Structure 1
Amino acid sequence: MFEVICVSFAFFFGLAVRQFGLPPMVGFLAAGFAVNAVGSRIGLPEETHEILSHVSHLGVLLLMFAVGLKLKLAQVAQPQVLGGALLHFTITATVLGAGLAVISGLAPQGAVLLAVALSFSSTVFSAKFLEAKRDLGTFYGRTAIGILIVQDLIALVVLAVWAGQAPTVWALGVFALPLIRPVLHWLLDFTGHDELLVLMGMLLSLVLGGMGFQAVGLSSEIGALVMGLMLSGHRRAKELSESLWGLKEVFLVGFFLQIGMSGLPDWADLGWALLFLAVLPAKGILFFFILILFRLRARSAFLAAVSLTAYSEFGLIVASRALPEWLVPLALSVSLSFVLASPVNHAAQTLFDRWERRLQRFEPRRMHRDEQPTNLGNATVMVLGMGRTGTAAYDSLLAATDRVVGIDADTYLVQARRDEGRNVLFADVEDAGFWRGLDVTNLQAVILAMDHLEAKEAAARALRHKGFDGPIVGHALYESDLDRLHAAGATHCYLTMYQAGMGLAEHAARAMGLDGLPDATAEATAAAATTAADGAGPASRG
């Protein structure tokens, strides 16, 4: 009965909110409150809370492991990360704590602890949004995730101090983990590509990272993150992350259901939740100005601040152990902050474009070293997105011209491609500032090799707005995406799987010695030209 009620409520509430442009997680939160309200009348088992708590914990561990796979230790040690997190925590705990002591009647220690609970931002919420937008590797995304990690560490310290607990002497073994990194890399290569790959990810995140760290008095969440970091430089890290994606998403449904089921609020709880929600914008504004202080551009500071403007699940953990009487209003505040932050995160780039002139007034004259403008030099072909597809396109173009430049928003990927001898520059194609200062006079063609459809649309529109009239070539997985790319200004668009199938047929025909099979590239070009003319994609979906 547990799975019947929880799965049904989660699905239909998630489906309902998506019709209003909200992410399904908002529906899952609403489903949690609904199950809490009517569960006893429809036969919800008493052990539901315990089961959901376990399922949600597994989801959080898998999420932290996936985040770790995409991180580098150096990004946490950045001044804007450490300084930003500590400065925001100190100001919030001091100022908000003083205000709560006055209006809540709490003792100073309790008021400060409540302010601390509200100072944290949601790692689960932010990581999911950044992952969905494929922005975990961007400069602002790495800054936001780094701040979240530091906040989680602060939360663990607060909990340890409050509970009077300390890690065991065996926790020192964590410092020896880099020694076994080659073994883990070998194991990942040896595991293969089937279900054993999924089990290996679960072994590292849930067993070694989760249970292993917890056994020595450390956070299981940080343990899962560390195990992901151990494999972050491996060539198969992305494959491992993708293999765990569906499992992680299902378990995280339990996390959002659990928050909604924390308790039914009364009018007093609702009043406090609305007050905390009114304070929420100040949280983002403070992050914006702190990041500006560390010389980030207005866009990076704004997008990172928006990602961090939601209350944290760690606040609920702090409240459950130290301020149990505040658990329900805090749970409601966390839920409402997700509801408010979801559409804002979706529209973050649009909001920045609207307020860009006002926000740029606060930009420092001396920029952060990762925020320097880009010069294309004498390049005639620009490849946007230097993942596997973009890199293959770049290498193929070198046979015809050496005046090729690659662009990517992931600074670590940019450095890796440079180390391999390619001409690759760092820039975010969704940043209007990049296009504003870009000289496209020498460009003759542009390839859109990014994964994210919205990023391709933004780049195509920006190029046409700059007056570029050359070919813009892109690829898409679905026919419905082709019309959007053409409407944005792309001239040649291909269905990725369709062209891959044609390529396979061409290789098979050559191996068999058959003649008359059309060349895949020529056929795809003809299909793309037809698509550009009549707005219809190739008949086959691949």
Structure 2
Amino acid sequence: MTEAIWIFFAFTLGLLARSAGLPPLVGYLIAGFVLNSLASQFGLPAESSEMLDHLAHLGVLLLLFTVGLKLKFRSIFRPEVIGGGLAHFAITCLVFVPGLYLFLGLGGMEALMLAIALSFSSTVLAAKVLESKQELRAFHGRVAIGILIVQDLIALVVMSLTAGHTPSIYALLVFALPLLRPLLFRLMDATGHDELLVLLGLMLALAVGGIGFEMVGLSSELGALLVGALLAKHPRAVELSNSLWSVKEVFLVGFFLQIGMNGLPDDHALLFAVVAACLLPLKGLLFFFLLLAFRLRSRSSFLSSLLLTNYSEFGLILASVALPQWLVPLALTVALSFILSAPINRLAHPLYARMSRYIDPLESSKRHPDEQPISLGSTRVLIIGMGRTGTAAYDELRDTEPHLMGLDSDPARLKGHREAGRHVFFADAEDFNFWQTLNMPHLEAVILCLHDIEGKKIAARKLRERGFKGFIASHTLHVDEVPQILEAGADNAYLTMNETGVALAGHVQQKLSLPLRGVPTES
């Protein structure tokens, strides 16, 4: 009965949030607080049950595992990631500790722990936002996720020290994890495409990454992330991530419900949460200027800092270990930051478009290596988005069109294309500055193979605004997206699955028109 009521409230308020233009997770958070406030009337427990806590934990592990599947370690060991993450953590603590000590009258250690809890940003929210917009592999997404991983590692170290125990000697076995990669790859190859693939993902995320790391005194969250990252280079990593999508989403509902059900806030908790929410712009500005200092462009700095302008679920985990008296105020603070951050991130690109003329002059004249401007030179045909569809289009054209170029926002993907002899460069189709500085004197045709509908619309619109008169073709999986793409400026939008069916039928017709083997043709 209790579980049915949880599901009812989560669905109802999630649907209302979606109807209001907010992500459903905002509704789940509100549902948790509503359930807590109505607990006595419905006869429910005042706090989240052990089962809900367990489901919430599984949801976080699966989310981090799927993030790991799309993660490249070399994207973490970058100056802007390590330097930006550590600098922001240090400055935040230096500012917050004296403020909490003076204004709230806290002791030195309590002020330090609370400052650390407030310095973190939400991995769950950022991953959800990036995943929904298909920007996990975009440059600003990789920077944000990298900084969040640095913060999570700091949180794990602090929790270990606070709890008074250190990892066992067997924790050193973590450094041997790369040796398991060949075995894991073989398991991936042997599981096929059905339920065994889902079970393999659950086993690796929850058993190997979760329980395995806990047994040696390490964080299960870190374990799920690292095990996922081991599989990131496998050709079917994306398929595994997609197969776990629905399971992960259901469990994450429990995570957001759990936050709201941790306790009812009093006036002091509400005041603390409101003041902390008012400080969020300062948190975002600090990230923005730090990333600018590492030569990121204003657009990348802006989008990354928006993703990081919130408070973290890791702050709640830290509070449960070191600051139990602050758990409810921090839960309300995190929930309020989610409510503010989620809709702002949904409008991140339009917000940058409006503010670009004010913040673009702030960027360094020296560009980050991954954000160098692109000149199309003699290119006649341009393919934007070099995934499976874009690669197939490139390979079909490469023998007949010598002036061919591909663009993609995933540096790891670029390396593979260049090793295969393809002429592919880094660029983000949703980067307004990219279109403003693009030189395309000989361009005659563009093929849009991006996953995100917004990216296709922006690319088509910007091409037309730059005076491009050539042919623009796009692929899409959904009928309702066709008129939007055409309205943005494309000449044609082809339904990918329809085109696949036509191509298959063409192959069959070609075979049927040929004589059967061993049967002579009539003269």
Please report the TM-score for the alignment, with normalisation by the length of structure 1: 0.93
Query: Which ranges in structure 1 are unaligned for 5 or more consecutive residues?
Result: 516-542
CA distance in 1, matches of 2:506, 2:5: 51
1:23 matches 2:23:
yes
Alpha-carbon contact 1:259-1:331 (below 8 Å) kept: yes
CA distance in 1, matches of 2:49, 2:320: 14
- The Cα shift of 1:497 comes to 1.7
CA distance in 2, matches of 1:16, 1:186: 45
Which stretches of structure 1, 4 residues or more, deviate above 6 A after TM superposition? none
After superposing the two structures, state which structure 1 stretch, 475-484 or 195-204, moved more: 475-484
- The Cα shift of 1:511 comes to 3.9
Alpha-carbon contact 1:101-1:111 (below 8 Å) kept: yes
User: Which position in structure 1 is the counterpart of 2:204?
Assistant: 204
Alpha-carbon contact 2:80-2:291 (below 8 Å) kept: yes
Alignment RMSD (CA, Å): 1.4
What is the CA deviation profile of residues 210-260 of structure 1, one whole-angstrom value per residue up to 9, with x for unaligned ones?
Answer: 000000000000000110111111111111111111111111011100011
Give the counterpart letter for 1:348 in structure 2: A
- The Cα shift of 1:13 comes to 0.4
1:228 matches 2:231:
no
User: Which position in structure 2 is the counterpart of 1:157?
Assistant: 157
Alignment of 1:422-433 (within 5 A): 422-433=422-433
Query: Which ranges in structure 2 are unaligned for 5 or more consecutive residues?
Result: 516-523
CA distance in 1, matches of 2:271, 2:332: 10
CA distance in 1, matches of 2:154, 2:164: 15
CA distance in 2, matches of 1:23, 1:192: 34
What is the CA deviation profile of residues 157-212 of structure 1, one whole-angstrom value per residue up to 9, with x for unaligned ones?
Answer: 11111111100011111111111211111111111111000000011110000000
Give the counterpart letter for 2:463 in structure 1: L
Q: Secondary structure of 1:100's partner?
A: helix
Structure having greater relative contact order (Cα 8 Å, sep ≥ 6): 2
CA distance in 2, matches of 1:172, 1:477: 46
Alpha-carbon contact 2:46-2:263 (below 8 Å) kept: no
Alignment of 1:49-68 (within 5 A): 49-68=49-68
Give the counterpart letter for 2:300 in structure 1: S
User: Which position in structure 1 is the counterpart of 2:89?
Assistant: 89
Alignment of 1:120-519 (within 5 A): 120-513=120-513
Q: Secondary structure of 2:49's partner?
A: helix
User: Which position in structure 1 is the counterpart of 2:4?
Assistant: 4
- The Cα shift of 1:97 comes to 1.2
CA distance in 1, matches of 2:279, 2:126: 19
- The Cα shift of 1:135 comes to 1.0
- The Cα shift of 1:349 comes to 1.1
- The Cα shift of 1:469 comes to 1.1
- The Cα shift of 1:311 comes to 0.3
CA distance in 2, matches of 1:8, 1:93: 41
What is the CA deviation profile of residues 10-58 of structure 1, one whole-angstrom value per residue up to 9, with x for unaligned ones?
Answer: 1110110111110000001011111111233224367852111100110
CA distance in 2, matches of 1:323, 1:410: 40
CA distance in 2, matches of 1:440, 1:3: 58
CA distance in 2, matches of 1:371, 1:502: 39
User: Which position in structure 2 is the counterpart of 1:75?
Assistant: 75
Alpha-carbon contact 2:46-2:261 (below 8 Å) kept: no
Q: Secondary structure of 1:114's partner?
A: helix
CA distance in 2, matches of 1:74, 1:312: 24
CA distance in 2, matches of 1:337, 1:390: 38
CA distance in 2, matches of 1:6, 1:385: 41
Alpha-carbon contact 2:213-2:219 (below 8 Å) kept: yes
Give the counterpart letter for 2:349 in structure 1: Q
- The Cα shift of 1:3 comes to 2.4
Alpha-carbon contact 1:440-1:466 (below 8 Å) kept: no
CA distance in 2, matches of 1:156, 1:227: 17
What is the CA deviation profile of residues 424-465 of structure 1, one whole-angstrom value per residue up to 9, with x for unaligned ones?
Answer: 010001111111111222111000100100000000000000
CA distance in 2, matches of 1:395, 1:260: 51
CA distance in 1, matches of 2:360, 2:493: 35
User: Which position in structure 2 is the counterpart of 1:525?
Assistant: none
User: Which position in structure 2 is the counterpart of 1:111?
Assistant: 111
- The Cα shift of 1:293 comes to 1.1
Alpha-carbon contact 1:59-1:251 (below 8 Å) kept: yes
What is the CA deviation profile of residues 280-334 of structure 1, one whole-angstrom value per residue up to 9, with x for unaligned ones?
Answer: 1111100001111111111111110001111000101111221112111110110
Give the counterpart letter for 1:407 in structure 2: L
- CA 1:273 to 1:48, structure 2 compared with 1: closer, same or farther past 3 Å? closer
User: Which position in structure 2 is the counterpart of 1:522?
Assistant: none
Alpha-carbon contact 1:121-1:308 (below 8 Å) kept: yes
CA distance in 1, matches of 2:425, 2:416: 11
Q: Secondary structure of 1:473's partner?
A: strand
Give the counterpart letter for 1:205 in structure 2: A
Please report the TM-score for the alignment, with normalisation by the length of structure 2: 0.96
User: Which position in structure 2 is the counterpart of 1:519?
Assistant: none
- The Cα shift of 1:503 comes to 2.5
Give the counterpart letter for 1:215 in structure 2: M
Q: Secondary structure of 2:365's partner?
A: coil
CA distance in 2, matches of 1:45, 1:315: 24
- Identity among equivalent positions (%) equals 54
CA distance in 1, matches of 2:484, 2:82: 41
Alpha-carbon contact 1:2-1:48 (below 8 Å) kept: no
What is the CA deviation profile of residues 307-364 of structure 1, one whole-angstrom value per residue up to 9, with x for unaligned ones?
Answer: 1111000101111221112111110110010110011101111111111121122211
Aligned residue pairs total 515
CA distance in 2, matches of 1:129, 1:174: 30
Alpha-carbon contact 1:5-1:44 (below 8 Å) kept: no
Alpha-carbon contact 2:377-2:440 (below 8 Å) kept: no
